[in-house]
Amino acid sequence: MSTIALWAPAALALVLVITPGPWRLSRNVITIAHEAGHALTALLTGRRLTGIKLHSDTSGVTVSRGRPAGPGMVATAFTGYVTPSLLGLGAAALATADQIRPLLLGTVVLLGLMLIMIRNVFGVLSVVVTGGIVFAVFWFGGRDVRVAFALFIAWFLLLGGVRPIGELQRKRARGRARDSDADQLGRLTGVPGLVWVAVFAAVALGCLFLGGRLLLPDLMLPG
């Protein structure tokens, strides 16, 4: 691949994240990752997952049943905001290890499993469209297309994982996010919500730094 082709996924991801109109649409992908993090953690901690809803305003909700407090509930509330960044770091590791097909196929499988738990029409549409795009690239794309798309996935999750945390704190400052994940964690642990926002930001920025370290050497390779 040419140097331009390697830089293009990063540039496209950055444009989608910093431009208001495209971000409003593409942010649905970050919401899918966010709610998937809640759902997977709920299952891993022994909670009973009852459903996931994704809304057209890019918000979402994951409902699980179990103890209303304790480590399982804390872990479930915590993972939403950090999951996109952690997935981005994982995607960066797979892409730079030349595991492109496993990355794309694994993404399709995970979206398919998530689809089982979606409980509203917009959520189904969001997951089906996202999964359909990834599958089309996996099945029909040539190697260069698959590589570029895998790099885009990694960059978009890494960059897109940071912006919602800033948006969260702005809403909290205006008193518009009293039931946010950070505030739920505050009530569950006694640690102020602002501290949890800072932890979310530290994880997201750390993943962006580490993922960038993995991806940037590839971008600097000659064509």
Q: How large is the average pLDDT for residues 144-172?
A: 96
Name the residue range of residue 166's domain: 3-219
pLDDT: which is higher, 122 or 179: 122
pLDDT: which is higher, 86 or 178: 86
In whole angstroms, what separates CA 7 from the centre of its chain?
Answer: 21
- State the Cα–Cα distance between residues 40 and 47, nearest whole angstrom: 10
- State the Cα–Cα distance between residues 16 and 21, nearest whole angstrom: 8
Q: How large is the average pLDDT for residues 99-113?
A: 96
Question: In terms of Cα–Cα distance, which of 33, 30, 34 is closest to 159?
Answer: 30
pLDDT at 102 over 90: yes
Give the per-residue pLDDT at 71.
94
Give the per-residue pLDDT at 1.
57
Angle at alpha carbon of residue 68, lines to 196 and 177, rounded to 5°: 40
Each residue's pLDDT tens digit, 162-214: 999 999 999 999 988 888 999 999 999 999 999 999 999 999 999 999 999 99
Give the per-residue pLDDT at 2.
60
Question: In terms of Cα–Cα distance, which of 45, 44, 34 is closest to 69?
Answer: 45
Give the per-residue pLDDT at 223.
42
Count up the domains in the chain and report the number: 1
Sign of the Cα torsion 208, 209, 212, 213 reads negative
- State the Cα–Cα distance between residues 160 and 175, nearest whole angstrom: 24
Question: In terms of Cα–Cα distance, which of 83, 44, 85 is closest to 60?
Answer: 83
Tell me the DSSP string of 77-98.
Answer: HHHHHHHHHHHHHHHHHHHHTT
